[in-house]
A and B are shown apart, each in its own frame.
Chain A
Amino acid sequence: MANNKVFHVMYDDDHTLLEAAKQLVSQGVHVKDVFSPFPVHGLDPIIGVKRTRLAITSFMYATTGTLLAIFGTWYFMIHDWPMNIGGKPSFSWIENAPAFVPVMFEFSVFCGAHGMAITYLLRNGTLPGMPASNPDPRTTDDKFVMEIVTEDNHGFSVSELEEKIRGTQVYELSIKDC
């Protein structure tokens, strides 16, 4: 559609932003995204951002790490080249296992932390050299911008939407074609 519009509604306070989001959503407006300088608590349920599953991925990466460490210590110390070190059991992984606990723990943490961090960066699309996509440079300082697109709000005409937005404590409003 040619006359798709994007509204960038700027607020100068997190509290006004929250109130505005509540008001607009209750009127049936769909808020596409919010750009803010810091995490605004309580915003996610209002605009319908689901809880992230990153913590689960971290658990899975860490479990993978534990399994790899178990396999590694078994392969290096028991299977491939068993060494007699101070009479410690070199013939059975389970009997030698207490000595491997530190490495198993460290390697689990290593995999859990790095796996999750890499997933986080990839899912966000935040990688070295990526261009910034915030509509206004002030959103990383002290301003909050709500992004509303007509495409998500077929129930309203552009002027109706603008009227609803003007009904909140707007600091600045920019309407662009998209």
Chain B
Amino acid sequence: MMKEAAIRKPLILGHKTYHDITNDVVGPIEGKAPRQWKIALGIAAIIALYGIGCIMYLVGTGIGAWGLNKTVGWSWDITNFVWWVGIGHAGTLISAVLLLFRQRWRMAINRSAEAMTIFAVIMAAIFPVFHMGRVWMAYWTLPLPNQFGSLWPNFNSALMWDVFAISTYFSVSLVFWYIGLIPDFATIRDRMVSPRAKKVYGILSFGWSGRAKHWTRFEEVSLVLAGIATPLVFSVHSIVSMDFATSVIPGWHATIFPPYFVSGAVFSGFAMVLTLLLIMRKTMRLENYIHMAHIEYMNIVIIVTGSIVGVAYLTELFISWYSGVEYESYAFINRFSGPYSWSYWMMMTCNVISPQLFWFKKIRTNLVATFILSIVVNIGMWFERFVIIVTSIHRDYTPGAWGEFHPSMIDIGMFIGTIGIFFTLFLLFARYFPVLALNELKTILKVSGESYKNDQHKH
């Protein structure tokens, strides 16, 4: 049997049995919906409906309803897109990369992080899809035979790569998540008393019975999916960064973009995971499963990726001067001293300075500080994308073409609306789905459970 070093903190606190784990996770699904949940869902749903209203107005009126103009042709829409995709990076990173590195602490957070990933990628997709204007022609991005010749999409274009990257990322993440969910749905199915719930979870669980052969296949599939999802995680945000980097706009045309975007994505993704989990563990009483050790590990990931992002900012700045290209250096001087310098300094403070506070053990093991800083990081990462996109294009080559961007009500409404849709989906997930990976947690109970660990070291 596997043993774990005594120095490692136990991952499951308290004196749990296998049955306790099932009770703790499935219990909230069986009980009545708590009042706070209903209130939260109500608020999220109202915001979501407002967002859907704004989207409908946008489709009916045209993209002119956004604040875009001839100079600033990409702004909040693409900022929101990159922000959401970035948030969507933590889930698969946690479940795939940490699985390959055999990090057992991922098991308490992977399920909800993956759910967050899937919902965030859906939110991300809204923006480029509606940016097409005639959204009902979105299928034109696929190479389908047509009556124009056949005319095919351009596979030389980074935007086309993105269509493939995001859709592959979304569908593979969904499959990975669902394959892990099947055995847990079976656990819920076998516990449910009401025939309707039993039927629904019966369908969702695909008739899973937990046979030895099935478990062998399950583990193999999880491992292989993790193996191929790992390069996928890195490729997706690299390709998102190529939407910018393959253009010849000063401020965008940089080889540093792929690694810089990937670490930024992990940074913001972990911040969002922390924001959500700190609330979830409290309201669903999961403190024994998601405890200080997990939070500290995530905060360490935030320091690392935040520092990589900080180094990338400074490298960009240095190279813009060192390149000797005057347009390039102007783009960066304009970034930190031009009309949008407030957003640049906002980004610098939120992403580079404030995460460094996590070097102090007192701060990274403090729940309130972690919660506040995780939100600060999310704000900072939104501004990072805004800075990259808007400040690079708002001063065109000729001063006559200079412009500025002012968000319209529809811009703001759609952004706030996606936050509403995201939280609506996440709240529904937290209510009806097993929020912890039951079957995986049970495999580590005897290795990393507090009571078992203490027993082992007595012998």
A: which residues have CB within 8 A of B? 14-15, 33-41, 43-44, 47, 49, 51-52, 54-55, 58, 62, 72-73, 76-77, 80-81, 83, 85-86, 88, 96, 99-100, 102-103, 105-107, 109-110, 112-114, 116-117, 120-121, 123-134, 137-142
Contact = CB atoms under 8 A, between A and B. Distances in A.
Interface string B157-177: 100110011011001100110
B232 interface: yes
Contacts of B167: 110
Contacts of A129: 202-203, 206-207
Contacts of B208: 126, 132, 140
B285 interface: no
Best-buried of B217, B220, B242 by chain A (most CB within 10 Å): B217
B210 A139 contact: yes
Contacts of B22: 37, 141-142
A12 B316 CA distance: 60
Contact of B18 (A44, A107, A130, A142): A142
Main secondary structure of the interface of B (DSSP, over half): helix
A55 B224 CA distance: 6
B206 A127 contact: yes
Given A37-B22, A106-B161, A120-B218, 13 more contacts: A35-B210, A40-B212, A41-B2, A54-B224, A73-B155, A110-B164, A110-B172, A113-B225, A125-B207, A129-B202, A129-B206, A134-B186, A140-B186
A124 B155 contact: no
B97 to A, nearest CB: 15
Given A76-B143, A137-B191, A126 B207 contact: yes
Interface bin, chain B:
35 or more
14 contacts: A14-B446, A34-B211, A35-B212, A36-B210, A36-B212, A39-B216, A47-B212, A105-B231, A106-B164, A113-B176, A126-B182, A126-B208, A140-B190, A141-B187
Given A43-B212, A44-B212, A116-B224, A130 B217 contact: no
A66 B314 CA distance: 38
B245 to A, nearest CB: 12
B187 A140 contact: yes
B160 A120 contact: no
Given A39-B443, A110-B171, A121-B206, A77 B155 contact: yes
Contacts of A55: 220, 223-224
A127 B205 CA distance: 8
A88 B155 CA distance: 11
B406 interface: no
B25 to A, nearest CB: 11
Best-buried of B167, B202, B211 by chain A (most CB within 10 Å): B211
A121 B214 CA distance: 9
A120 B179 contact: yes
Contacts of A83: 154
A95 B242 CA distance: 20
Interface of B: 1-2, 17-19, 22, 143, 149-157, 160-161, 164-165, 167-168, 171-172, 175-176, 179, 182-183, 186-187, 189-191, 202-221, 223-225, 228-229, 231-232, 235, 239, 242, 438-440, 442-443, 446
Contact of A132 (B149, B202, B218, B221): B202
A52 B217 contact: yes
Nearest to B442: A38
Contact of A134 (B161, B204, B210, B213): B210
A42 B174 CA distance: 30
B336 to A, nearest CB: 32
A117 B202 CA distance: 20
B353 to A, nearest CB: 35
Contacts of A76: 143, 152-153, 155
Nearest to A111: B168
B151 to A, nearest CB: 6
Contacts of A131: 202, 207
B456 to A, nearest CB: 13
A51 B212 CA distance: 11
Nearest to A100: B155
A86 B229 CA distance: 33
A49 B212 contact: yes
Contact of A110 (B168, B216, B218): B168
Contacts of A113: 171-172, 175-176, 225, 228-229
B207 A127 contact: yes
A126 to B, nearest CB: 4
A140 B183 contact: yes
Given A113-B225, A132-B186, A140-B186, A33 B161 contact: no
Contacts of A134: 186, 190, 209-210
A1 B156 CA distance: 67
